[in-house]
Structure 1
């Protein structure tokens, strides 16, 4: 009887243990999460907005529409125009802004958890040139103060041993009959022997990448040094040459009809090796257009749309941030050279300044 009871109790405990283990095993199985199925069948279609037989690269808006599909995808990453974008739906509209026609690579990845598939494609897009900022100098009087400020004084020779004193006087700077006129005058003024003017858009307008151009007629006389150029917007925290300098137009009266275009940066300042010249016939009697087209890849310099110098831009250069514009007429100095003793006055005439995307 005792043996029977012991067997009965043991059987009961074994049965209980089996049930307990069975329940525990079932719960463990229920807590497991099935592995995610990786994305597959990734497809990307790129539509160039405004594309026609006559306009195979679009209507100039620079807009493209991406349609992306993939089996089992929960999100997507698109690298386009060197920018990364994360999206959950398979549609993306993007607008390119660099003017001209260019081929852009596109990388698309489809994700499901940590699993993903990727593909690459490319698109040719035409972006029409769009005016970002301009001064046509069509209102007589002082230059537009919403667009231009001034550097005044001697600036200790402005780093170049220049001889002029910059003022805001109408004798030195004025808009007349559709032209900005910056006049250098031989006169005794505040301890200097010459006066002139220097205008800049610092704090009013700056831009990153695009085309900057001036249509101008240059002054006559040994010692004159007219310029249209740009400085990095961060010059207050990154003093020259760390801020970078882009000289679009520089000419000197002691060597007329020659335009110098140069770039200054750390280790390549002063007598920079990044420079080139071109002949500009009749630069003091005719208007010419001096321009720079600036991108992350290059800075190209033109006179009357004739390319004469290309600088290869890099990510380590200072030429990948906002820059502001400067117009000035210096006298003498390291670059302007000796002033003609018979010099009395000269005028730097500007028809317009324009900046495009």
Structure 2
């Protein structure tokens, strides 16, 4: 990112330092929910979270005015001198509360009813910041939030993650993954960024995504996500991928993103990057969060073959990880190109990427390929009891072209007909 942003993340008051220290001290293994329920693509019961997958989900259901679920989130308090933000983060539900309609509302107000003191004197604004430290961490998978951001100069909403070892190694050595940041003077653009040792603050590695036609992110809800695997992180907005980062992007500096991270949601007011509010800034400002979901799929070394007609395996041609690589039938050989992981999000993954319907097509004969996981319906698959593997958006089956079992037969989608070239056995 080419902003003039300074160091982003350390809260400065004694209250904040204490809250963060307690959070980090409580960190442990990734929290796990109970069994996820439902069925996998192979039709068997889904594995218990923590055995093969860990899923975090909060849809913010509850009565209007209620505080967030304390088993999932803790609320940080204090100001932020490092970034010269202007707000004081308050406790309780004053600035972070459910709206009774399935949303969390983080509200920034121009007020100071508690006579809070900030780095610059008496605080002028209040807001809220939540994290999952000590309650949930994730390593790899899909991390997403559906949100509507506030508008106005000086507003700075963010959905991001910090390494679980923050208390031991400090920032930026802990690593930081910014899933989404927006600054009020760029109403149509959001940013995704990595921070780590030697590439932090304004030197972070990232990119922006701009809505077409002058639309503003404050006008509607949008889904912001990263798909994260060993040595690879991909950012998307509403399923549109806009950047992928790997260790090759760091110019020899250390990649610190293959470990657990915890989640953070906050709405800052002012600071080096967004600048301070002015007379045009509407208050109160609200970051409205519809849901937060994290799916950590099976371990990258896991998975198993998908077998079909002639006993052949679903195979990534030449084990090539490039976007657009054909997916075909081939003699089963146990290589990574034939090891498919069933994601709890409905994806089928191999070599760190997803089975994808080319150009999100729905016509008979649309070929299948390997592509960056992006959360679109072109990458969702469902199995039925008849062993069909169906793309729900197209309502078509995975199909071996020409009813052939020859090596190199390209896979495609086709109207489900119950034929042998549409029958598949998915193993884990």
Match of 1:249 in 2: 180
Q: TM-score w.r.t. structure 2 length?
A: 0.52
Alignment of 1:222-241 (within 5 A): 222-241=153-172
Match of 2:200 in 1: 269
Match of 1:42 in 2: none
Aligned counterpart for 1:340 among listed residues 261, 275, 278: 278
CA-to-aligned-CA distance 1:160-200 (integer Å, 9 cap, x gap) = 11110000243311011210000000113412000000000
2:190 paired with 1:259: yes
Determine the C-alpha separation between the residues in 2 that align with 1:316 and 1:331: 32
Moved more, 272-281 or 261-270: 272-281
CA-to-aligned-CA distance 1:200-259 (integer Å, 9 cap, x gap) = 000000011111000000001110000000000010001000000000110011111201
Aligned counterpart for 1:139 among listed residues 49, 62, 73: 62
2:267 paired with 1:320: no
Match of 1:297 in 2: 231
2:242 paired with 1:308: yes
Task: Tell me how far 1:60 sits from its aligned partner.
Answer: 8.9
Checking the alignment, whether the CA contact within 8 Å between 1:229 and 1:326 is kept in structure 2 is yes
Aligned counterpart for 1:356 among listed residues 295, 302, 318: 295
Aligned counterpart for 2:95 among listed residues 172, 178, 181: 172
Determine the C-alpha separation between the residues in 2 that align with 1:152 and 1:336: 21
Runs of 4+ in 1 over 4 A off after TM superposition: none
Determine the C-alpha separation between the residues in 2 that align with 1:60 and 1:236: 43
Checking the alignment, whether the CA contact within 8 Å between 2:163 and 2:260 is kept in structure 1 is yes
Checking the alignment, whether the CA contact within 8 Å between 2:197 and 2:254 is kept in structure 1 is no
Structure 1 residues 316 and 267, CA gap change in structure 2 (3 angstroms) = closer
Match of 2:132 in 1: 201
Structure 1 residues 310 and 185, CA gap change in structure 2 (3 angstroms) = same
Q: TM-score w.r.t. structure 1 length?
A: 0.62
Checking the alignment, whether the CA contact within 8 Å between 1:201 and 1:325 is kept in structure 2 is yes
Match of 1:151 in 2: 76
Determine the C-alpha separation between the residues in 1 that align with 2:177 and 2:87: 22
How many residues are aligned here? 236
Q: Secondary structure at the match of 1:284?
A: helix
Checking the alignment, whether the CA contact within 8 Å between 1:262 and 1:272 is kept in structure 2 is no
Q: Secondary structure at the match of 1:237?
A: helix
Task: Tell me how far 1:282 sits from its aligned partner.
Answer: 3.2
Determine the C-alpha separation between the residues in 2 that align with 1:231 and 1:207: 10
Checking the alignment, whether the CA contact within 8 Å between 1:248 and 1:301 is kept in structure 2 is yes
Q: Secondary structure at the match of 1:236?
A: helix
The alignment yields a C-alpha RMSD, in angstroms, of 2.5
Determine the C-alpha separation between the residues in 2 that align with 1:60 and 1:264: 41
Larger proportion of strand:
1
Structure 1 residues 228 and 60, CA gap change in structure 2 (3 angstroms) = farther
Determine the C-alpha separation between the residues in 1 that align with 2:73 and 2:286: 19
Match of 2:107 in 1: 183
Determine the C-alpha separation between the residues in 2 that align with 1:276 and 1:290: 14
Match of 1:211 in 2: 142
Moved more, 290-299 or 315-324: 315-324
Task: Tell me how far 1:342 sits from its aligned partner.
Answer: 4.2
Task: Tell me how far 1:350 sits from its aligned partner.
Answer: 0.2
Determine the C-alpha separation between the residues in 1 that align with 2:272 and 2:287: 20
Checking the alignment, whether the CA contact within 8 Å between 2:153 and 2:185 is kept in structure 1 is yes
Determine the C-alpha separation between the residues in 2 that align with 1:60 and 1:193: 56
Determine the C-alpha separation between the residues in 2 that align with 1:313 and 1:325: 22
Moved more, 197-206 or 268-277: 268-277
Task: Tell me how far 1:274 sits from its aligned partner.
Answer: 0.8
